[in-house]
Structure formats: structure tokens, C-alpha cells
Homo-oligomer: A and B are copies of this chain.
């Protein structure tokens, strides 16, 4: 059976860096945006759209008023979300079958629960996450600290809702993981090096 490591992570916690470093140290395949690209191919939806869908709980309302166009739109969105989740499950299962791998995000811990992956959750305190976002020049440059805080919270809230919707489990609750790693006070490089020893 292949060795599979799944990584859930708070936005700005360095979970992606941890996953990448770990995969390099171990010589494992690394899957992150590759999952989005593959779902996009299979569903003929754009990568941006798939990315948005796979980090948000679907918006939908119960069809109380049949024939109401608002509900029709929402139910279409729900159907699309379920279709994307199905493709996502297929893609992730196929990736896990191919070789030892590290998979970041996208409910992989839940989708692969039958394969007994090693489930890591990466988190950090607020100041540490803001500092990490600031280090990366890019789309968050124009945000004030207050705005960035709000943005980080919103992303994590969406991830939590998406996870809850598809898995019925609580995102980030320690009982759903084998290891919860705080990156606030320890370099990600050192944590990856430490973790690698569990899989040699």
C-alpha cells in the first residue's frame, strides 16, 4: 500500500510549504493545484471556477417554491458543486493509487479515509499568519492588517464550511488528524525535516 500524507491547513500557516518540503525530502509525489487542473479537464469548468468551488460550501436553498428561478439557479450551483466533488474524489483516489504522495487540502483526508493516510493539520497564530502573507508579495499587498485578518478568517471559514458540508466532520478538530502542527514558533523547514523521519 502506498504511503499517503494529507495536509489540511489554515490560510497563511505554511501548510503548503510544509507539504512541498516533506514531499521533496521523501521523494513522494506532491499534489495541490494539480488536482484543480485535473478536475477542470474532466468537468470542462475553468480552473478558477473549480478552485472557487472547492473552497466554499455550496450556496443553496431548499426548494420550497418549486419553479422559482432563484432556487433553480441555486440548485444548479449545488448540483455543480456535487459534480465537482465527485470528480475531485476520483482524481484524488487515482493520485493516491499511483505512488507515495503528499496531498494538500480538498478533503483528501476524508476522501482517502479507507487508505489510512497520515493526516496532518497545520495552523498558526494570527500574527504569524499575517507575517507569512506579508512575506509573499502578491495579491494581498494592498490590504491593511485589519483587512488581511478579515480575509484570512473568511478563507478559513469557507474551508471549514466546505469540509463540514462534504465530510460532516469538523475542520481542524484534532480528533480528525494524526498530528496538528503549529508553525508560529518553529521554522517549517525544521518541522518538515522532523516529520520526514516518520515515513523513512
Within A119-148, the residues touching B (CB, 8 Å) are: 123, 125
Contact A116 B180 (CB under 8 A): no
Q: State how many copies of this chain the complex holds.
A: 2
How many Å from the CB of A193 to the closest CB on chain B? 7
Interface string of A184-198 (1 = CB under 8 A from B): 111000110111011
Q: Within 8 Å of chain B (Cβ to Cβ): is A90?
A: no
Contact A198 B174 (CB under 8 A): no
How many Å from the CB of A121 to the closest CB on chain B? 8
Q: Other CB < 8 Å A-B pairs besides A178-B186, A197-B197, 20 of them?
A: A116-B185, A118-B186, A123-B174, A123-B175, A125-B175, A172-B174, A174-B180, A174-B182, A177-B180, A177-B182, A178-B182, A178-B185, A179-B179, A179-B182, A180-B180, A186-B198, A191-B198, A193-B197, A194-B194, A194-B195
